[in-house]
Amino acid sequence: CALQPALYQLSDFPIGCAVDLNKLDYNPTYAQLLGQQFNQLSPENIMKPEHIHPQPNYYHWSEVDSLLSYCQKEHKSLHGHTLIWHQQLPPWMEEFEGTTAEWEAMFKDHIQSICRHFKGKVRAWDVVNEAFNEDGTLRNSIWKQHLGAAYIEKAFRYAHEADPDALLFYNDFNLAINPKKRAAVLSLLKNLKQRGLALDGIGLQMHISIAFPENRVIESAFQDFSKAGFLVHISELDISVNPYGGDFQAGAEIWERQAQKLAAVISLYKQIENSQRYGITFWGLSDADSWIPSAFNRKDYPLLFDGNYQAKAAYCKMKESL
Ligand code: G3I
């Protein structure tokens, strides 16, 4: 199908993509397609603590600043990902030795230095990422160990203080497929919101597959969070075609199933109140850019474009569904 009109031109909510700055700078095919199709970008790695805060008193701004100027020039919004996580931490942070007060000061400085630097320039922040275990308990991250469960609330307060105009999100995976985890997250978010915290939305990552979760499960996740008053961001969408690994034969039937799954996600997302649709972000541009094959050591082709940046059935189906 034709590449124009572009995805975002057909949509009444932003269509985003995780971006690799190196590819944007050095791969013209990647840069052309990304710039053409999407109007919101999430940096895939360069805003994470190990990249942006590699030393205690040093913040590495230049890469994200350059992405930000690209976004401003090209009229794209930037989604901040992510302030507080248990992964991709710089070694100094993991090994930090200090009293509770010193931990608190370090945590606050990390959040507020970053939010102040980008004040007024990012549309939103994933303030806390992946704080829950699958059984609905809080993950025992360094943040929970040193600051207690209240670190989540504090993170949102500090971020809001430093950049009052940015929308603030909690972001996590498996919230559609795992009802226990979803209930725990929803209950924490409702509780914080009731207490007046600036907490605008939920990032449902949606690393899903052609086989699961079932559409009615996806629908209930969208409805649970939107009915509770949160903006809903499908924040890291990809649709695995080989979720169990092993030998894999790609073929027209598989691409069609992937396209159907995406169409279902789009149509369920459109059932959410317009004002609560923050946007849909794909976690990578082409199958050659996906995190999945290397993370799980398997063949997979979860995105809209193939490894040669050609549109797949999912791309064309998405355009019909928007
Ligand atoms: O930077 C090094 C590079 O110097 C080295 O040569 C190379 C060799 O392997 O590794 C590079 O680091 C990799 C980094 O991505 C940058 O490419 C890491 O090994 C790799 O583990 C890291 O993976 C990222 C992953 O988060 C880390 O957990 C993926 O790119 C990124 O897509 C993924 O994104 C996360 C979201 O932030 C949160 N939700 C889940 C999602 C998937 O894991």
**Cα 228 to averaged position of ligand 1 atoms, centre (Å):** 33
User: Is 236 among the catalytic positions?
Assistant: yes
Instruction: Report d(CA 31, CA 188) in Å as an integer.
Output: 39
Nearest residue (by CA) to ligand 1, atom 30, is: 291
Mean pLDDT of the chain: 98
As for the ipTM of the complex, it is 0.94
Residue owning the nearest CA to atom 38 of ligand 1: 129
The predicted structure's pLDDT at residue 176? 97
Per-residue pLDDT reduced to its tens digit, 75-109: 999 999 999 999 999 999 999 999 999 999 999 99
Q: Which helix (H) or strand (E) segment is 110 a member of?
A: helix 100-117
Query: Is residue 120 exposed (0-12), middle (13-18) or buried (19+ Cβ within 10 Å)?
Result: exposed
Catalytic pick among 214, 236, 256, 273: 236
Which helix (H) or strand (E) segment holds residue 258: the answer is helix 252-269
Distance CA 112, CA 118 (A): 10
Which protein residue's CA is at the shortest distance from atom 23 of ligand 1? 291
The Cα 211–Cα 214 span in angstroms is 7
Would you say 175 and 202 are in contact if contact means Cβ atoms under 8 Å apart? Answer: yes
Q: Is 306 exposed, middle or buried (0-12, 13-18, 19+ CB in 10 A)?
A: middle
Q: How confident is the model at residue 277 (pLDDT cuts 50, 70, 90)?
A: very high
Residue 202 pairs in a beta bridge with 170, 232
Q: What distance in angstroms lies between residue 45's CA and the mean position of ligand 1's atoms?
A: 7
Active site includes 104? no
Q: Which residues line ligand 1 (CB under 6 A)?
A: 44-45, 87-88, 129, 205, 236, 291, 295
The contacts of residue 73 (CB under 8 Å, 6+ apart) are none
Question: What local confidence, expressed as pLDDT, does residue 43 receive?
Answer: 98
Domains and CATH numbers, the chain: 8-321 (3.20.20.80)
